[in-house]
Amino acid sequence: MSGLRRPTRGGKAPVSGPEDPLMARRARLARLANLGRRVGYLTFALSIGMLVLGLATDFTDGISAVVIGLLVGGSAVLAPAILLHYAVRGAEREETERDS
Mean pLDDT by 10 residues, the chain (100 residues): 52 58 91 97 97 95 96 97 96 88
77 touches 39 (CB < 8 A)? yes
Q: Please, is 52 exposed, middle or buried when counting C-beta atoms within 10 Å of its C-beta (0-12, 13-18, 19+)?
A: exposed
pLDDT of residue 65: 97
- Entry pTM: 0.73
pLDDT of residue 6: 53
pLDDT of residue 15: 53
pLDDT of residue 1: 47
Give CA–CA dist 27/89, Å, rounded: 11
